Structure 1
């Protein structure tokens, strides 16, 4: 493992993996046959795929290829012109023309416009879930773009909520301040021992939570974790019994390091998984991941172990991640039998500038079954 602290996450995370790779076919508007930019040439703000005549409501755009898991490609789409804009990630970070982007399973909004693009979920697919909120698998597996067209067409400008209901993308941290509680009245810091984290590192998995924090001035004098290690390399399929690991930070002059394989503190020159930074002779209230580690926040009961074959679908990420507005009501259903992603055919309202658009993702695969190829509907909503 590398010993440096986790670098700040790039603006777009790579997302969950799914079956298949990239396609070499030029994507087209599946209703009109009009070719669209396939992302192979850097054309800056140039747009392709739009026509002089407006498309019929419910026209499906795509498929737009977002590459493979190993080589992801971001697709940037301008809702005003209903066309793709070819940009590098660096260009997209300052470009204000695109409204919505796609990269593997992630769907993200442009937060660089004067008013960040924002999203609202209409809740149109409530019948795809039972009374307890559990997904009804057959509803997703049997739904098609044709069967869910009416759901899309019935959404009109009258369904646009107040601006306060729209949510933009933001950045958040998986661990961040969630491992401790702070009482603003007594100013006492205590361990949030009901919050668990699973770290993927060195081809193994480790579930841990903080069980005790001893303060030292304005910092941490000692931090104690319960560490439950799963050595995939040794054939383990579940987390082992918890082992207590403590880091003494009183009078520290450098960060403390913990190796989950050894389940003990180590030095900066060793292979470590997490570190606790030091400042003014005490530990800072932070837990940093090694560069090559990823993390998932969970609870005590949900995971007894990690299925290594399906680990790509668990949602592991870097410590600092983009919190996508669409994730609260995500666009896909994952079928654990086929390992395929099915659209939930949710209808989203997207506010870009003064215009509100509706959008429905219809597929994540092209005709050859290659994943990462988005097709979707999108139309501007105007008062009737």
Structure 2
């Protein structure tokens, strides 16, 4: 459960990604997938008759591309320049500059490893799918088909490309990050953010904690105190136990401090620790890192008195670093709570990859057999600068 330092791997990945645009001389396998899907929007029986195995005219549909299952998801990476799937492992994709857009179950993400990160803009073509308050009009989604929404797609042209400042790219953020302390820019005083709580899932148990006190040492932390409330699922506990204060002294430190939530005390690097506070120049850094196998959820004091083990998968636990995808600002699907199906909103997105802007419209999340996670979409280049 020990935290592994991966800084050199990250540096290597960034170095490999530092050159190249949307195109690449990589010999990676590609698959165009043009015209292989005759299905339409999710949950309907309409078919698209405008594509065949050789068609590559504007509005052609690519796919379906399978992204696996909920329990075993698989990422699909697509190169818009060649309109082809690029066969990569997730590790290879982390530094590859050929692919532009990726799909993994309901997530659609962009390649941020190119010299200029791939970016996205939503045209707002289907504003009539929403009411004046911005709520989805269910019938608009349920009745839309590949054919009925083709004209919206074809109508988007190079004249619709906005300034570069209107495009957004994916980004990463931290669940804990700097949220456990407050910094007063006037007095330069650092204080604990006592109203911010975290729940950590680790070793099949759950622990709720917050930072209650920080004593600074120079430009770092000399001491940090946490209130820890442990829930031992292995012992049958269904709620967090009484709070225990755990303090880590980092004055003059030469190595990180480690805390084990099961023992509710500071431990050494050789023990089964859950969080660690890095050390630099004889004081703690303003950071709290998780063990590699731990997940975290940021919350408040009152929302959770414990974690229901049976429903834990739906709480929103994640790794410390989470990706924020640009497309989620105007997400591509509508969820029907009656049928539990995802319906494409047939939005037309502009994607800037290298010097070229492409338009894209997701047409289905299902293959002909109704298998979820099988993406089909339209994509065409609009311009090359």
TM-score greater than 0.5 by the shorter chain: yes
Q: What residue number does 2:46 align with?
A: none
Residues 163 and 227 of structure 1: CA distance in aligned 2, closer, same or farther (over 3 Å):
same
Give distance in 2, aligned partners of 1:235 and 1:106: 35
Kindly state the Cα deviation for residue 167 of structure 1 after the two structures are TM-superposed.
1.7
- For the residue of structure 2 that corresponds to 1:115, the secondary structure is coil
- For the residue of structure 2 that corresponds to 1:326, the secondary structure is helix
Moved more, 101-110 or 336-345: 336-345
Q: What residue number does 2:262 align with?
A: 261
Give distance in 2, aligned partners of 1:161 and 1:195: 39
Moved more, 210-219 or 141-150: 141-150
Asked if the contact 1:167/1:325 (under 8 Å) is kept, the reply is yes
Kindly state the Cα deviation for residue 261 of structure 1 after the two structures are TM-superposed.
3.4
Kindly state the Cα deviation for residue 201 of structure 1 after the two structures are TM-superposed.
1.5
- For the residue of structure 1 that corresponds to 2:165, the secondary structure is helix
Moved more, 88-97 or 59-68: 88-97
Give distance in 2, aligned partners of 1:96 and 1:199: 34
Asked if the contact 2:32/2:62 (under 8 Å) is kept, the reply is no
Kindly state the Cα deviation for residue 356 of structure 1 after the two structures are TM-superposed.
1.8
What does 1:128-143 correspond to in 2, within 5 Å? none
Q: What residue number does 2:197 align with?
A: 196
Kindly state the Cα deviation for residue 180 of structure 1 after the two structures are TM-superposed.
1.8
- For the residue of structure 2 that corresponds to 1:164, the secondary structure is helix
Kindly state the Cα deviation for residue 284 of structure 1 after the two structures are TM-superposed.
1.5
Kindly state the Cα deviation for residue 181 of structure 1 after the two structures are TM-superposed.
2.3
Residues 362 and 8 of structure 1: CA distance in aligned 2, closer, same or farther (over 3 Å):
farther
Asked if the contact 1:5/1:288 (under 8 Å) is kept, the reply is no
Residues 183 and 371 of structure 1: CA distance in aligned 2, closer, same or farther (over 3 Å):
same
Asked if the contact 1:121/1:329 (under 8 Å) is kept, the reply is yes
Residues 281 and 199 of structure 1: CA distance in aligned 2, closer, same or farther (over 3 Å):
same
Asked if the contact 2:297/2:318 (under 8 Å) is kept, the reply is yes
Asked if the contact 1:9/1:320 (under 8 Å) is kept, the reply is no
Give distance in 1, aligned partners of 2:208 and 2:302: 11
What is the Cα-based RMSD across aligned positions, in Å?
Answer: 3.8
Kindly state the Cα deviation for residue 191 of structure 1 after the two structures are TM-superposed.
2.0
Q: What residue number does 1:48 align with?
A: 32
Asked if the contact 2:30/2:84 (under 8 Å) is kept, the reply is no
Structure 2: gaps (5+ residues): 11-25, 36-52
- For the residue of structure 1 that corresponds to 2:186, the secondary structure is coil
- For the residue of structure 1 that corresponds to 2:253, the secondary structure is coil
Kindly state the Cα deviation for residue 359 of structure 1 after the two structures are TM-superposed.
1.9
Asked if the contact 1:50/1:81 (under 8 Å) is kept, the reply is no
Q: What residue number does 1:34 align with?
A: none
Q: What residue number does 2:208 align with?
A: 207
Give distance in 2, aligned partners of 1:131 and 1:10: 48
- For the residue of structure 2 that corresponds to 1:67, the secondary structure is coil
Q: What residue number does 1:363 align with?
A: 364
Structure 1: gaps (5+ residues): 12-41
Q: What residue number does 2:188 align with?
A: 187
Residues 160 and 305 of structure 1: CA distance in aligned 2, closer, same or farther (over 3 Å):
farther
Residues 301 and 248 of structure 1: CA distance in aligned 2, closer, same or farther (over 3 Å):
same
Give distance in 2, aligned partners of 1:119 and 1:236: 46
Asked if 1:3 corresponds to 2:8, the answer is no
Residues 50 and 232 of structure 1: CA distance in aligned 2, closer, same or farther (over 3 Å):
same
Q: Which is higher, the Rg of structure 1 or of structure 2?
A: 2
Asked if the contact 2:34/2:61 (under 8 Å) is kept, the reply is no
Moved more, 214-223 or 368-377: 368-377
Asked if the contact 1:223/1:246 (under 8 Å) is kept, the reply is yes
